[in-house]
């Protein structure tokens, strides 16, 4: 493809995307939010073998509607209230395009200084924007890095924690396997499965993760954590890692970080296990000072993660991870084959982000953060969060005012969990009917319900988060929900 052809096809594709968004924001139009594709539909729409001879690209573009679109669930639709959002915006999409256009692979500082240094600066910008202490920023001993997902962030934090626990005990490399079996990690029963998965991947094992019980709000019960940590320490085990979740996946519950750090890190100067904060969804709200109460105690945590790709206007993937001691991460993950050596790295004059992550290669993701933060400004980011919280509050008020329904957990930011008082079967059937309309999409969870004596109940999760959503869309969703409840 020549630059001129690229110009032409690129313009067509940008037009396609712009038109797509216009149809979405017109209330979804003819589009059903959830794809109706059956298993195999898209697979079978594509021939089994690649074309022997290259095809006309205009023809390929013309096939998007036939092959791809039927299998798209419209995450950016104003009727999408499922899971947590995966927000995409035009500035972010343009950042992604420029990143692809420059074709950089940023494994080392040397392989594109801009890829590394813009990322370092963006993570400092974002760290300040969400109120992280300076210790997590690059001018101190800490710093931030963009990972693909919160799961990867949890994994690298756990690997660094393991290394630190073993180094602190002066364990020789050859004895490490034996000690690995004594390492114990902690997270609440409501924590994301990625914490257990991180333990599976890094050799700690599922059985050495303690899932600590929760309180009436489904947040970690700090006293139970304390008791478990003490019991394990008495048994000769090593409590080396605790994950505090800010905004659990099911209900958005906020673990008591200030109490957790005091239990795990008994002295301000350190000692004790590594505290990782998983703020995958709720972390975005920290751009608003009124939501910063949840990070009280973060100055004693070791790592903090949230996903701008969930609720902060950056398209997937972009997961920001900060550490207070970057040396701990690098000690655990750095390995330098000869072919990667270069003057600046050898002189330790630069950051090589390959040492802060599992893969070697890395994308230029900072570009989209740069575009988004400059386009919206912090004011724009705060307005985005506040509007979604306002819409969720409104939705909550409607749930509370209708006696057929009840809240199953306190609303958390833009997430409302509710059910029909008529019970699990009725609530499940309501969700199915609402989703079958195609106009809106909501998802469910099963959680212990304080109002039902802690018994697990089926609940609908209503997560406001699509960038295109308006009050009229939330009102329409409620109209559909109540019509089917009747
Ligand atoms: N942590 C929490 C609290 C989440 O809600 C999620 C996903 O929704 C994750 C971690 C995993 O996120 P990712 O897909 O970025 O790995």
Kindly report the CATH number assigned to the domain that includes residue 178: 3.40.640.10
Our mutation pick for probing the ligand 1 site, out of 146, 147, 191, 192, counting the most ligand atoms within 8 A of Cβ, is 192
Atom 5 (ligand 1): residue with closest C-alpha? 249
Residue 81: which of 311, 350, 331, 256 has the closest Cα? Answer: 311
Q: How many A from CA of 286 to the centre of ligand 1? A: 17
Angle, helices 150-168/326-333, rounded to nearest 10 degrees: 90
The pLDDT tens digits for 356-410 are: 999 999 999 999 999 999 999 999 999 999 999 999 999 999 999 999 999 999 9
Is 301 contained in some domain? yes
Our mutation pick for probing the ligand 1 site, out of 153, 157, 195, 249, counting the most ligand atoms within 8 A of Cβ, is 249
- pLDDT (0 to 100) of residue 438: 92
The pLDDT tens digits for 149-193 are: 999 999 999 999 999 988 888 777 667 777 888 899 999 999 999
Ligand 1 atom closest to the CA of 309, numbered from 1: 15
Residue 347 in 3-state DSSP? coil
Is 32 contained in some domain? no
Total domain count for the chain? Answer: 1
- pLDDT (0 to 100) of residue 449: 83
Q: How many A from CA of 156 to the centre of ligand 1? A: 15
- pLDDT (0 to 100) of residue 30: 65
Please give the Cα distance from 102 to 366 (Å, whole number).
Answer: 13
Q: How many A from CA of 470 to the centre of ligand 1? A: 25
Q: How many A from CA of 195 to the centre of ligand 1? A: 10
Handedness of CA 322, 165, 152, 217 (dihedral sign): negative
Is 414 contained in some domain? no
Q: How many A from CA of 372 to the centre of ligand 1? A: 21
Domain of 210 in residue numbering reads as: 104-363
Ligand 1 atom closest to the CA of 152, numbered from 1: 16
Is 395 contained in some domain? no
Q: How many A from CA of 189 to the centre of ligand 1? A: 15
- pLDDT (0 to 100) of residue 29: 58
Residue 409: which of 392, 426, 386, 422 has the closest Cα? Answer: 392
Tokens for 47, please give them. Answer: 């021939």
Is 443 contained in some domain? no
Q: How many A from CA of 203 to the centre of ligand 1? A: 21
Is 439 contained in some domain? no
Ligand 1 atom closest to the CA of 84, numbered from 1: 8
Residue list, ligand 1 pocket, CB within 6 Å = 84, 149-151, 192, 194, 245, 247-249, 278, 280-281, 307, 319
Q: How many A from CA of 70 to the centre of ligand 1? A: 27
- pLDDT (0 to 100) of residue 336: 84
Tokens for 262, please give them. Answer: 């005091």
Q: Which DSSP helix (H) or strand (E) runs through 143?
A: strand 143-147
ipTM above 0.90, yes or no: yes
Ligand 1 atom closest to the CA of 282, numbered from 1: 3
Mean pLDDT per 10-residue interval, the chain, length 486 residues = 96 95 71 91 96 95 95 94 95 97 93 96 98 95 97 97 87 75 94 96 92 94 94 92 97 97 70 90 98 96 97 97 95 86 83 93 97 98 98 98 96 97 96 95 92 86 95 96 94
Site of tokens 């394990």: 232
Atom 7 (ligand 1): residue with closest C-alpha? 249
The DSSP bridge partners found for residue 147 are 319
Ligand 1 atom closest to the CA of 153, numbered from 1: 16
Q: How many A from CA of 105 to the centre of ligand 1? A: 26
Q: Which DSSP helix (H) or strand (E) runs through 238?
A: strand 238-245
- pLDDT (0 to 100) of residue 450: 74
Ligand 1 atom closest to the CA of 249, numbered from 1: 5
- First vs last Cα of the chain: how many Å apart? 57
Is 230 contained in some domain? yes
- pLDDT (0 to 100) of residue 345: 82
Is 46 contained in some domain? no
Atom 14 (ligand 1): residue with closest C-alpha? 149
């Amino acid at each position: 493809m020549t630059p001129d052809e690229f110009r032409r096809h690129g313009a067509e594709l940008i037009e396609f995307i712009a038109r797509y968004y216009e149809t979405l924001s017109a209330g979804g139009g003819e589009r059903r939010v959830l794809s109706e594709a059956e298993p195999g539909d898209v697979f079978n729409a594509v021939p089994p073998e690649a074309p022997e001879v290259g095809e006309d690209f205009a023809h390929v573009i013309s096939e998007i509607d036939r092959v791809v679109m039927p299998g798209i669930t419209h995450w950016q639709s104003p009727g999408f209230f499922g899971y947590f959002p995966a927000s995409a915006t035009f500035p972010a999409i343009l950042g992604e395009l420029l990143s692809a256009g420059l074709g950089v692979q940023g494994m080392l500082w040397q392989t594109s200084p801009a890829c590394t240094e813009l990322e370092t600066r963006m993570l400092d910008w974002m760290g300040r924007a969400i109120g992280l202490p300076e210790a997590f920023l690059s001018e101190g001993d800490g710093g931030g890095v963009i990972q693909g997902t919160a799961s990867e962030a949890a994994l690298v934090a756990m690997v660094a924690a393991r290394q630190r626990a073993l180094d602190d005990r002066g364990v020789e490399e050859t004895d490490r396997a034996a000690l690995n079996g004594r390492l114990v990690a902690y997270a609440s029963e409501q924590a994301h499965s990625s914490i257990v998965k991180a333990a599976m991947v890094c050799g700690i094992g599922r059985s050495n993760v303690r899932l600590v019980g929760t309180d009436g709000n489904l947040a970690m019960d700090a006293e139970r954590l304390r008791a478990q940590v003490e019991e394990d320490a008495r048994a000769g085990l090593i409590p080396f890692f605790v994950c505090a979740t800010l905004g659990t996946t099911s209900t958005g519950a906020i673990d008591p970080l200030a109490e957790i750090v005091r239990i795990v890190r008994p002295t301000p100067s350190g000692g004790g296990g590594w505290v990782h904060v998983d703020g995958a969804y709720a972390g975005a709200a920290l751009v608003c000072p009124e939501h910063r109460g949840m990070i009280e105690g973060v100055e004693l945590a070791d790592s903090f993660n949230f996903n701008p790709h969930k609720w902060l206007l950056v398209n997937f993937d972009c997961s920001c991870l900060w550490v207070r001691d970057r040396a701990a991460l690098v000690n655990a993950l750095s390995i330098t084959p000869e072919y990667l050596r270069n003057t600046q790295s050898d002189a330790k004059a630069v950051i090589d982000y390959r040492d802060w992550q599992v893969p070697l290669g890395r994308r230029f993701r900072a570009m989209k953060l740069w575009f988004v933060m400059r386009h919206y400004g912090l004011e724009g980011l705060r307005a985005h969060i506040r509007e979604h919280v306002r819409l969720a509050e409104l939705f909550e008020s409607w749930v509370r005012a209708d006696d057929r329904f009840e809240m199953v957990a306190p609303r958390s930011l833009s997430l409302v969990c509710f059910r029909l008082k008529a019970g699990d079967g009725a609530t499940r059937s309501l969700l199915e009917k609402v989703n079958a309309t195609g106009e809106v999409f909501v998802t469910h969870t099963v959680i212990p319900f304080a109002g039902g004596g802690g018994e697990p109940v089926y609940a609908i999760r209503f997560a406001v988060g699509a960038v295109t959503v308006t009050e009229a869309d939330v009102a329409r969703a409620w109209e559909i929900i109540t019509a089917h409840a009747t």
